[in-house]
Amino acid sequence: VRTPTDETHDSERRSFVSTANDPQGDFPIQNLPFGIFSRGKDTRKSAGVAIGDQIFDLRAAFGLGLLSVDIPDVFAEPTLNTLFALGRERLRELRKRIGDALDVGTSGEKTRRSAADLLVPMAQCVMHRPTSVPNYTDFYAGIHHAKAAGALLTPENPLPANYKWVPIAYHGRASSVQVGGGMVRRPIGQRPPSVEGGPPGFGPCERLDFELEMGFYVAGGNRLGDPITVSQAQEQIIGYSLLNDWSARDVQRWEMYPLGPFLSKSFATSVSPWVVTADALAPFRVPAMKRPEGILGH
Amino acid sequence: VRTPTDETHDSERRSFVSTANDPQGDFPIQNLPFGIFSRGKDTRKSAGVAIGDQIFDLRAAFGLGLLSVDIPDVFAEPTLNTLFALGRERLRELRKRIGDALDVGTSGEKTRRSAADLLVPMAQCVMHRPTSVPNYTDFYAGIHHAKAAGALLTPENPLPANYKWVPIAYHGRASSVQVGGGMVRRPIGQRPPSVEGGPPGFGPCERLDFELEMGFYVAGGNRLGDPITVSQAQEQIIGYSLLNDWSARDVQRWEMYPLGPFLSKSFATSVSPWVVTADALAPFRVPAMKRPEGILGH
């Protein structure tokens, strides 16, 4: 399975925003991730796209008629939820128009003339959490991680019996997802008793940890009870970002039996301000690891 | 600790809505729970209060100037979140004004004259989920339940070592909380293998269950990282309702090790359309069960 690529993925393409053409940069014209920003002391939030060391203001661009695409004006909303709910096909169309608007060639001329209104230096902006989070689920998805973690606890049998069959996951505290770069307060909590059967310890977490993970953003979603088939799943994932799963390991070891992690994870989860679209990553798609034991017939 | 009571709790008080005075009824003038309703085919949502077999329309009452209380007009919003975030003190004031408006005596005269605009028969209304749910946590709170459930699995040691010390809980799927009375689709999922080490079973849940629980609604909330002290906690709980924790027990038994319940609970959680305020319950408050082993010093 390869997703088709188009002119937005052309590795020869250059932007008139010169910092976007730095081969070491995170934000070339082929990337174009979405985020929510505000300018300096102005607290008004807008949707924007990262390009080099600048942010391309989607609200302003839409207002100037630069994005001739059949979508409603959702760029003044304080989150990307409505934009993402439009679905991958319309976001793909928008991505094409943004690529054209930032192109070094003639297609970018109109933007270049209004650059002062449309481009804001990242250094002058405050970034916000890109979406509101109606639910957040943490999957135990990487087998290498699962084996390494399991080997510490039960070396003779590092993977639980269910691991290869069913997605092992828990819901994190949706309301504690925040944009990365802010302060995270070290939580206070209970630690395992030092004597078996004795009282637990209490105090600031002594084993604060984080796991660098990958966040998946779902477009819109389904009605409760309506299943999404495996073949539909690809169109439901709109983008990805880095995610830090902060963990109070001492608290976790004490509290998690039998209902799983709770307060040890609830104090913070941080996400990147930029959501890289699934479409931007199309050229990098590779086949999944082969499953040695096959898949359960569904 | 007893919460002070006031004229809204007077058991002799009667409403001019005669069905509210039925001693077997759920909605006497002393209760006054909040909910979100729409009238018949009109999909517009309003905040309302249950009184007998009627709903008192708060948006209409506020518009007619019947509720002389210093709060913003939050009654046309589709959820109770903003109302609840005003806090218990202002909700207590609002409760007094609503009690007056529905009183059988002279204080209720003005409402009685506009009754046609203000009261809607419940039977003609559609009830909606009362709040949007930014997070939902299921606590293993009842020791009798915990002992009974634990005795089935590990009769020699029914309570986990942490049970009496730390709140055992997990986050449910916030986005699947729905108002009670709707359809719940029986989930399809994996069951434990019939042979140890063999593949799991797959199909519609064979052990569909629910737990009748009590839902707590939190008023507003704290900033991430700012603790709420035990003495402040009382003012943070704005109300309660019944809650059904739907569970696919066969799926749960297979999936829950080590991260806790997930898909076995994610298909539905239903809540009552009516949120009974903490203030309405003030006369019924009793001391908590004594903790035989004391409390950890914090």
How far, in Å, CA of B98 to CA of B69, rounded?
A: 10
Distance from CA of A204 to the nearest CA of B (A): 11
pLDDT by residue (tens digit) across A186-233?
999 999 999 988 999 999 999 999 999 999 999 988 888 898 988 898
**Residue closest to A56 by CA, chosen among A64, A65, A47, A44:** A47
Give the mutation candidate from B175, B184, B224 for the A interface (greatest A CB count, under 10 A): B224
Q: How far is CA A286 from the centre of its chain?
A: 19
Residue B225 amino acid letter: G
Do the Cβ atoms of B259 and A262 come within 8 Å?
A: no
A contacts of B190 (beta carbons < 8 Å):
162, 165-166, 296
Cβ separation of A134 and B134 shorter than 8 Å?
A: yes
Q: How far is A80 from chain B (nearest CA, A)?
A: 17
- Closest partner residue to A202 (CB to CB) among B193, B197, B298 is B298
Q: What is the pLDDT of residue A32?
A: 98
At residue A142, the pLDDT reads: 87
Quick check: B259 and A258 CB within 8 A?
Answer: no
Q: What is the ipTM of this complex?
A: 0.90
Q: Do A258 and B260 touch (CB under 8 A)?
A: yes
Chain B positions in Cβ-Cβ contact with residue A255 (cut-off 8 Å)? 162, 166, 168
Chain-chain contact of B260 with A261 (C-beta, under 8 angstroms):
yes
Query: Once rounded to an integer, what is the mean pLDDT over residues A70-94?
Result: 93
Cross-chain CB nearest to A259 (options B134, B189, B260): B260
**Are the CB atoms for B239 and B200 separated by under 8 Å?**
no
C-beta separation of B287 from B99 below 8 A:
no
> Each residue of A135-189: pLDDT tens digit?
999 999 889 999 998 887 778 888 999 998 999 999 999 999 999 998 999 999 9
- Band of residue B240 on the pLDDT scale cut at 50, 70, 90: very high
Q: What is the DSSP string of B228-278?
A: --HHHHHHHEEEEEEEEEEEEHHHHHHH-TTT---HHHHT-EEE-S-BEET
Contacts of B162 in chain A (CB under 8 A): 190, 200, 254-255, 257
pTM, rounded to two decimals: 0.92
The neighbour count for residue A233, using CB atoms within 10 Å, is 10
CB contact under 8 A, A255 and B162: yes
Report how far residue A210's alpha carbon sits from residue A245's, in angstroms, rounded to the nearest whole number.
Answer: 5
Reported as a pLDDT band with limits 50, 70 and 90, residue A81 is very high
Reported in sequence order, the residue ranges of B75-207 that DSSP labels E, i.e. its strands, are 119-121, 125-128, 137-139, 169-171, 177-179, 188-191, 201-204
- Strand pairing of A169-171 and A177-179? unpaired
Contacts of B266 in chain A (CB under 8 A): 171
Span A29-44, average pLDDT: 95
DSSP state of A68: -
Q: B153-193: per-residue pLDDT in tens?
A: 778 888 999 999 999 999 999 999 999 998 999 999 999 99
Instruction: Please list, residue by residue across B33-71, b when 16 or more beta carbons sit within 10 angstroms of its beta carbon and e when fewer do.
Output: bbbbbbbeeeeebbbbbbbbbbbbbbbbbbeeebbeeeb
A233: CB partners within 8 A, 6+ apart:
none
Say how far apart CA A16 and CA A27 lie, in whole Å: 13
Q: How far is B195 from chain A (nearest CA, A)?
A: 12
Alpha carbon B73 to its chain centroid, in Å, reads 23
- Catalytic residue positions of A, numbered: 145
